[in-house]
Amino acid sequence: MNITTPAAIPTVAAHGAAIPALGYGTSPQTGSVATEEIVTALRAGYRHIDTARKYGSEGAVGEAIRASGVPRSEIFLVTKVSHENLRAADFARSVDQSLKALRVDYFDLLMVHWPNPAIPLSDTMPALAKARRNGVARHIGVANFTTRLLDEAAALCPEPLAALQAEYHPYLDQTKLLGAVRRRGMAFVAYCPLGRGRLFSDPVLADIAKARGRSVAQVALRWLVQQNVVPIPRSSRPERIAANLNVFDFALTGDEMQRISALRRPDGRIANPVERIAGGWD
């Protein structure tokens, strides 16, 4: 069994959490997530695994953890409660279902997956905090919240929020949200860090990648890592799973960072269920 030690992966600190600076996402997008690809990621050295009740991948993640040979204590495991389950009783039931599906005793990070304008955060945030107080979640956070919702959530939550997860890649400007997260001492976790493949044909990224002897994916991921943002890419191909983790042995120059940041565009957002975001995005 070939298991890579995670010693080379730095961590991002946030309210007591030490979050591995690059993780493996298990959102299926289409089709399903295979246990084997998650095992491959763990054996390649990933120690941050991201799932959610809504993804339908919790069972596969749990099986992969047990099959990988990597001790549970070395894995930073994240799951999320879906937007339809944000009332206290539903929230508790969803948490219990996730524990059973994953066959674990705790989550390293438990998050609200999406806000729900029909359910007040005054119902949701105490339920999230309770999971931390009960030891089911070592750390808690929110996903897909705007700056306004983040302010409201933090004010209503009696436990500190360690992380916010949101879409972030060079085509999407998240300057305002990133600033709000940093002011609160939270970590920013980026999903869709490769724009679901839309970045691969970008000439600016391709030029930098060629000059660096790297892949476009590695350059885009390094751009995030260098902002102290935690990307969670996913691939089903073993060679890409390994390559995506190999971004900690080089640094982009200030000019390269600026060139990539300049790629932001008004239509850059991919995940956009507008009915869940009252008042619109930042």
pLDDT tens figures, 140-199: 999 999 999 999 999 999 999 999 999 999 999 999 999 999 999 999 999 999 999 999
Instruction: DSSP letter for 137, please.
Output: B
Q: How many other β-carbons are positioned within 10 Å of the β-carbon of residue 272?
A: 11
Where helices occur in the chain by DSSP H, the ranges are 35-44, 58-68, 88-102, 121-133, 147-156, 175-183, 203-212, 216-225, 238-245, 254-261
Residue 179 has what pLDDT?
98
Residue 82 has what pLDDT?
98
Fold of 10-263: TIM Barrel (3.20.20)
Active-site annotation, residues: 55
Q: How confident is the model at residue 30 (pLDDT cuts 50, 70, 90)?
A: low
pTM, to two decimals? 0.96
User: In angstroms, rounded to a whole number, what is the distance separating the alpha carbons of residues 84 and 105?
Assistant: 24
* pLDDT of residue 5 exceeding 60: no
Q: How many other β-carbons are positioned within 10 Å of the β-carbon of residue 1?
A: 6
* pLDDT of residue 114 exceeding 70: yes
Residue 28 has what pLDDT?
82
Residue 32 has what pLDDT?
72
Q: How far is CA 125 from the centre of its chain?
A: 20
Residue 2 has what pLDDT?
45
* pLDDT of residue 202 exceeding 90: yes
Domain chopping of the chain, boundaries: 10-263
Tens-place pLDDT, residues 239-274: 999 999 999 999 999 999 999 999 999 999 999 998
